[in-house]
A and B are shown apart, each in its own frame.
Chain A
Amino acid sequence: MTSASIGVQADRPAELDLVRRLKDPALLLLPALAFLAFIYLLPLIDLIRISVSGPSWSSYFARVFAIPLYWDSLVRTMQISVTVAGLCLLFGYPTALLIHRSRGIAQVLIATAIVLPYFIAILIRTYAWMVLLGRNGPVNKLLVSVGILSEPVQLLFNRGTVLLGMTAVLLPLMVLTIYSSVARLDQSLTRAALASGAGPIAAFWRVLLPLTLPGMGAGFLLVFVAAIGFFITPTLLGGPSDQMFAMHITQQADSVTSEGFLQALGVVLLTITLAVVAVAGRFLGFEFIWGGRKLTEAAPTTTDRHAADAGRRSFGASAADLIGWPLLRLFGRLPASFGTWTVRLMGGLVITILILPIIVVMIISFSSASYLTFPPPGFSFRWYEQFFSDSNWMRAFWTSLVVAAMSAGIAIVLGASAALGIVRSSIRGKSTIMLLLVSPIIVPPVVLGLSLYSLFLRFDMVGSVFGLAAAHAIGGLPLVVVILSASLQGVDTRLEQAAAVHGASFPTVFRLVTLPAIMPGLAAATFFAFLHSFDELVLTLFLSSAELKTLPLMLWGDINYRLNPVLAVVSTLEVLLVVAGLVLARPVLATSRKAT
């Protein structure tokens, strides 16, 4: 077969050139890029256009910064976000170490305790905290029964609960980010430090900590950026003095008169977010966003820093001699069990914080009481019956399933094609394209929702199932691209070459070699894209109508209106869905974690 085809190739170079260009894998990027350009970039650009469309370009912004309400809220948002990121780092690091150091079944259990909440909707996890800390909740009951309180008090709706709730919601992100950087380290480095006479604490301080600093930085910034745009948790757990910036946007969105000003609020939030990400990317490389390996053009520039440092060193050295090293050696005397127990205690606390609310909610869903109380006076299925017999709930449930399935379909088709394009083509600027594909993770959902609202109004898509699914796919697409490009990078191209050498055509190679290798990744990506849409609330708040209500939207309405155990039923069902998904996806997670 080869000699014949070579002859043909030699005869018609021009035609072949076109064919070759059409076969360029870079073309596979086009659908996803077109999709994002229309439904993501265009609305954001439009948002910016409206924000500067006042009498002068800066008039709306001047208003934002002139009104103390917004300025105070901005400062508060920053304070809360930094605190939350700091708390997550403080408790997340020991937890990551705990996962890394445990073995066998213990490791699986601890990792599951972290990963499971990560995939449960923020709304549901926040609701669980409301249950846990409510007047009839277990915490109040416990405090009263041991005599610390004489009667139940209001534990909710203050700064403390906002910080607790946000930290709990964002902790898994931090733990997973740090874990991947700890797990990437050569195990023998710690051993080398120990063998060199460094106590466990000195080894941690001089070796482990400096080497995981980029991971810590990435975790801190990811949490910080997510926290800036937070809306659900502070709304539900905070009081009037805990208003965060994103909440103003949703509140203003209801009044038509604030056109322009509203967009200016969004642009401010977006600008801060992007500025933080840009600075972070400058130092960490933008890969920190998706926690992956560098894709291409990864020529590490080794600058000879140490020579330049020589001048500064003398002062630092004497300071280190005087205080640093003796202190380290002193800490080195602490028994190894000190560090071990710190890690266990803090890790254990984190696991409790993550898992306890979920368990309480699951128990309450079987309550026989007609209101929220823990422990339940008795057990029954009455709330499950109510849920399944209520046509509103069932319609919302069904809508959510349809929207999530459509959204996952869009995300997987576009995302898989884009992942193939980015991994297999040799175009320049891959990092930039990847950054664009992944960037929807970073943009605060409130801003995205606001910008999409204008677009949907213009094309009369508000309340359309397809429109909502497409909007959800904006966030699902990055998940698919990240998971699948990691899977594809894991496929040894030599296997494909080997298949081709032995006579397999391109489609056959793809079907027999590539597809089976990325199949687990494909399954996981589909599940996550589905779950992303199924859980999505913020965009839905902007884009749904009275006729189109999803499950999270119904939940949101009910949580604000009345707290009853039906919500616990929905939460329990969601937990079961995630557990089932994780069990199915577990082999994939295990392998992809090793790969990244």
Chain B
Amino acid sequence: MGEPAALRTTRSGEVGARTAPSGRPLERGTIGSSIAVRDAVKRYGSFHAVDRISIDIEPGEFITLLGPSGSGKTTLLNLVAGFQSLDSGEILVDGKPVHNVPTHKRGFGMVFQSYALFPNMTVSQNVAFPLRMAGVDRATTDRRVAETLEIMRLTEHATKSPSQMSGGQQQRVAIARAIVRRPRVVLMDEPLSALDRRLRESIQIEIRDLHRTIGSTILFVTHDQGEALTMSDRIAVLNAGKIVQIGRPLDIYRHPTDRFVASFVGESNLIEAEILQKRGSTLTMKNRAGYVFNAESRDTIDVGRATVLVRPERIAVSNEPTANSTRVSVTSAIFLGEILRIEANMEGGEPLLIRCTDMAVRPLPSVGDRLHVSWGAADCWVLA
């Protein structure tokens, strides 16, 4: 039948075969599948939850769908999982369309926001479930479950019921269940959103390392930009059912394509300025207050008005005027520990957010203080 090769391998019992699909080079034991989404559309009435999204995911890639709630990221994940069907377009796994393959035959692993551990089974029964369904014999199942519990540091909890465990432990069980079959694709739907910050950060690293070990393709959904930046090979930023930008975390952060990405990922100052002159990829610009500065940009920008992104931590602050500096007046200053967060007004009244490291020589400014700020061409990015 037209069943993808990937799925056939997982179902035949020999799970986690380390052969890459047709002639693709093996790297760090990649078992992941490639996923291609082409012009995917999912409507609810007149609302386009997913609006002609196309994305190519490399085998073994860790890709994050990042966006605010209602941006369509979870719908896209559900489409890949097979919980919902496309209105148009197609999804290919290892080059083969999967629209006729029901969820349980896709052979993916999945981690849910609510953990979705079966309350009627123990931890080890939960983890064994996918293997049992795949028809793996009991001896192998027991061994694989033990291994997986070991990896997730859950061995001593094997006979507990999920309700007896903490949120972080439950989430690790859910991850164990998702990876026990060594699936080619693991889908994660905001798996960390119910955990507190410290736990979230430690599990982020755990998932990151796990991805390196097992080499599955991971499709991770989150609304937390920090999480996306920490974990992903690439990030796809979604808004209103469309992918706004896709790229490496560094690119997304440093070179966002528009105001939405710039303000959704990280804190940002978006400064309206007039382009005075263009020399190569460097522009000379002037903001409303008359501050003249250089900025890097794409080649396509012409003379006119533009929005410039300046990240708060890229702004240099001093108490005395320096070359190319402009004066701001402080409206608020907060000590956050390792950094100071300063809000100030530029001379034209535009607000400016500054983050600078806490240094012994720098006193915490008080409201109304004058500071002198500047930034270099490499510290700004002109949005299209």
Contact = CB atoms under 8 A, between A and B. Distances in A.
B114 interface: yes
Contacts of B119: 211
A186 B116 contact: yes
Interface stretch (B23-31, B100-108, B234-242, B270-278): B100-108
B330 interface: no
A34 interface: no
Interface string B82-102: 110000000000000000001
B83 A191 contact: yes
B110 A332 contact: no
Contacts of A195: 81, 103-104, 108-110, 178, 187
A306 interface: yes
A192 B118 contact: yes
A97 interface: no
Interface stretch (B49-57, B125-133, B143-151, B367-375): B125-133
A206 B174 CA distance: 17
Nearest to A336: B102
A307 B120 CA distance: 14
Nearest to B108: A195
B129 A186 contact: no
Interface string A477-512: 000000000000000000000000000000000000
Contact of A192 (B107, B110, B159): B110
A211 B117 CA distance: 12
A188 B114 contact: yes
Contacts of A325: 132, 135
A325 B135 CA distance: 8
Which among A192, A193, A211, A306 has the greatest number of chain B C-beta atoms within 10 A? A192
A188 B177 contact: no
A536 B79 CA distance: 52
Given A198-B104, A302-B164, A193 B129 contact: yes
B120 A302 contact: no
Contacts of B109: 195-196
Nearest to B105: A197
B214 interface: no
Contact of A188 (B116, B130, B132, B133): B116
Interface of B: 10-11, 81-83, 102-105, 107-110, 112-114, 116-120, 122, 129-130, 132-135, 137-138, 159-161, 163-164, 174, 177-178, 181, 187
Interface in A209-239: 210-211
B257 to A, nearest CB: 33
A193 B132 CA distance: 11
Nearest to B180: A196
B130 A306 contact: no
Nearest to B123: A306
Contact of B177 (A196, A202, A300, A321): A196
A251 to B, nearest CB: 48
Contacts of A198: 104, 129, 133
A202 B105 CA distance: 13
B133 A196 contact: yes
A509 B114 CA distance: 36
Given A195-B187, A211-B120, A188 B134 contact: no
Q: Is the interface of A mostly helix, strand, loop or mixed?
A: helix
Contact of B116 (A189, A329, A332): A189
A186 B162 CA distance: 14
Interface in A143-201: 186, 188-189, 191-200
B360 to A, nearest CB: 45
A69 interface: no
B112 A192 contact: yes
A207 B120 contact: yes
Contact of B112 (A191, A203, A310, A317): A191
Contacts of A306: 122, 159-161
A194 B103 contact: yes
Which among A186, A194, A328 has the greatest number of chain B C-beta atoms within 10 A? A194
Nearest to B129: A196
Contacts of B159: 304, 306-307, 310
Contacts of A186: 114, 116
Contacts of A196: 104, 109-110, 129-130, 133, 177, 181
Interface in A308-355: 310, 317, 321, 325-326, 328-329, 332, 336
Given A211-B120, A306-B122, A194 B161 contact: no
A307 B174 CA distance: 21
Nearest to A310: B159
Contact of A207 (B118, B132, B177, B178): B118
Given A198-B133, A329-B133, A189 B104 contact: no
Interface residues on A, range: 20 to 34
A509 to B, nearest CB: 34
A195 B132 CA distance: 13
Given A191-B103, A196-B110, 7 more contacts: A188-B113, A192-B117, A194-B83, A197-B105, A198-B129, A207-B118, A325-B135
Nearest to A325: B132
Contacts of B163: 300, 302
Nearest to B137: A321
A329 B135 contact: yes
Nearest to B135: A329
Contacts of B134: 197
Nearest to A185: B119
Given A186-B114, A329-B135, A197 B161 contact: no
Contacts of A302: 161, 163-164
A2 to B, nearest CB: 35
A306 B159 CA distance: 7
Which among B81, B113, B132, B178 has the greatest number of chain A C-beta atoms within 10 A? B132
The list of the 7 closest CB pairs from A to B, nearest first, reads A195-B110, A192-B116, A196-B130, A197-B133, A188-B116, A194-B103, A210-B120
Contact of A193 (B107, B108, B118, B187): B118
B189 to A, nearest CB: 8
A328 to B, nearest CB: 8
A317 B120 contact: no
B104 A197 contact: yes
Nearest to B103: A194
Contacts of A207: 118, 120
A17 to B, nearest CB: 42
Contact of A317 (B110, B138, B177): B138
Contacts of A194: 82-83, 102-104
A325 B137 CA distance: 10
Contacts of A317: 138
Contact of A191 (B110, B130, B178): B110
Contacts of A211: 118-120
Contacts of A192: 110, 112, 116-118, 174, 177
17 contacts: A188-B113, A188-B116, A189-B118, A192-B174, A194-B102, A195-B103, A196-B181, A203-B104, A206-B118, A207-B120, A211-B119, A300-B163, A304-B160, A306-B160, A307-B159, A321-B137, A321-B138
Interface string A435-477: 0000000000000000000000000000000000000000000
A321 B134 CA distance: 13
B138 A191 contact: no
A211 B116 CA distance: 13
A174 to B, nearest CB: 22
Contacts of A300: 163
A310 B122 CA distance: 12
A337 to B, nearest CB: 10
Nearest to A300: B163
A200 B103 CA distance: 9
Which among A203, A305, A306 has the greatest number of chain B C-beta atoms within 10 A? A306
A547 B303 CA distance: 99
Interface string A349-371: 00000000000000000000000
Contacts of B102: 194, 199-200, 336
Nearest to B161: A306
Interface string A537-548: 000000000000
A319 to B, nearest CB: 12
